[in-house]
């Protein structure tokens, strides 16, 4: 990865931070993002120390805000003449319904729309850097997901688990649709399940911990193990040219049957464009 530039969202802890360490250790310049300035600075120092690579840059942005997604994209475009890999990793779980500054349901806004908008804003630069890769971190929860196009914001009926499952299915559908749209550009789009990993996931919403039994924690993967698949998809020559594929444990897997509905994926894309006011190429 020497000479390559990588952007990883949501990378001040957990899988994102471990992915940053893994790619930095291979020689990449890595840009990490977080919401808290102090935590972001600390993560930059930790990643540099753990990888032995000082080429780590930190950016502060709450990606549930579309204005801050746009600001981050502008900063990235200004800082890097090329972008070889984008890892859409940021995400969260809320057991109770929250609304973002844009008036959107928080889970859908952060887990899906943030990555959708950031990818759209950076896509021209990524294509100019081809061969390049876009890697999106989903979850095994996608297999239980279903998109209710009449209630994507969970206004009529909200369940934290249902919203999370739907957002992770949206990650897969977005990746497949993106792969179709950028076919032949030299940019690949893949999506993955990192495995159930010990992270601070859901920590902001105390009610969420009911979904994650403390008894299960000893059986969860360490973040470094959870990062193995995103690191592999971002760097390995074995997956060069592979696109529109869902991976788990570094192997292609079949995703939720609903994810292969091309009409639904195109509909999700159009709605996502409307909700993010995305007019950029792609």
What was the pLDDT predicted at 222? 82
CATH of domain 5-276: 3.40.50.720
Q: Is the pLDDT of residue 131 over 50?
A: yes
Q: Is the pLDDT of residue 119 over 90?
A: yes
Q: How confident is the model at residue 263 (pLDDT cuts 50, 70, 90)?
A: very high
Q: Is the pLDDT of residue 202 over 60?
A: no
Mean pLDDT over each residue of the chain, to the nearest integer: 92
Q: Is the pLDDT of residue 276 over 90?
A: yes
Token reading at 277: 């006011």
Section 250-275 average pLDDT:
98
Catalytic site includes residue 164: yes
Q: How confident is the model at residue 279 (pLDDT cuts 50, 70, 90)?
A: low
Decide: 99 and 92 in contact? Cβ < 8 Å.
no
What was the pLDDT predicted at 224? 84
Alpha carbons 116 and 38: distance in angstroms, whole number: 27
What was the pLDDT predicted at 223? 75
Higher-pLDDT residue of 59 and 278 is: 59
Could you say which of 80, 164, 176, 246 is catalytic? Answer: 164
Sorted by where each begins, the domain ranges of the chain are 5-276
Dihedral angle, C-alpha 87, 269, 61, 225, nearest 10 °: -30
Q: Which residues contact 78 (CB under 8 A, 6 or more apart)?
A: none
What pairs with residue 60 in β-bridges? 34
Q: How confident is the model at residue 282 (pLDDT cuts 50, 70, 90)?
A: very low
What was the pLDDT predicted at 25? 98
Dihedral angle, C-alpha 263, 264, 268, 270, nearest 10 °: 20
Q: Is the pLDDT of residue 200 over 90?
A: no
Q: How confident is the model at residue 221 (pLDDT cuts 50, 70, 90)?
A: low
Q: Is the pLDDT of residue 13 over 60?
A: yes
Higher-pLDDT residue of 217 and 48 is: 48
What was the pLDDT predicted at 280? 47
**Among 163, 38, 22, which Cα is nearest to 30's?**
22
């Amino acid at each position: 990865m020497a000479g390559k530039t990588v952007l990883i969202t949501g990378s001040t802890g957990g899988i994102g931070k471990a992915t940053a360490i893994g790619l930095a250790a291979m020689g990449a310049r890595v840009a990490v993002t977080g919401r808290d300035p102090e935590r972001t600075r600390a993560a930059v120092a930790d990643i540099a120390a753990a990888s032995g690579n000082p080429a780590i840059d930190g950016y502060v942005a709450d990606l549930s805000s579309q204005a801050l997604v746009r600001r981050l994209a502008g900063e990235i475009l200004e800082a890097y003449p090329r972008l070889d890999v984008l890892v859409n990793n940021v995400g969260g779980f809320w057991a109770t319904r929250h609304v973002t500054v844009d008036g959107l349901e928080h889970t859908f806004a952060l887990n899906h729309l943030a990555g959708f908008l950031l990818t759209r804003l950076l896509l021209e630069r990524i294509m100019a850097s081809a061969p390049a890769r876009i890697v999106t971190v989903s979850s095994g929860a996608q297999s239980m997901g279903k998109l209710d196009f009449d209630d994507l914001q969970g206004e009529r009926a909200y369940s934290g688990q249902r919203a999370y499952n739907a957002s992770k299915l949206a990650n897969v559908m977005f990746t497949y649709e993106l792969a179709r749209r950028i076919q032949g550009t030299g940019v690949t789009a893949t999506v993955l399940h990192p495995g159930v990993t010990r992270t601070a996931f859901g920590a902001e919403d105390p009610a969420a911990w009911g979904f994650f039994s403390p008894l299960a924690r000893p059986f969860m993967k360490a973040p470094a193990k959870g990062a193995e698949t995103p690191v592999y998809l971002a760097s390995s020559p074995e997956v060069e040219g592979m696109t529109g594929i869902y991976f788990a444990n570094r192997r292609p897997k079949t995703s939720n049957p609903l994810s292969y509905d091309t009409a639904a994926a195109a509909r999700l894309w159009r709605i996502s464009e409307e909700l993010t006011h995305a007019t950029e190429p792609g």
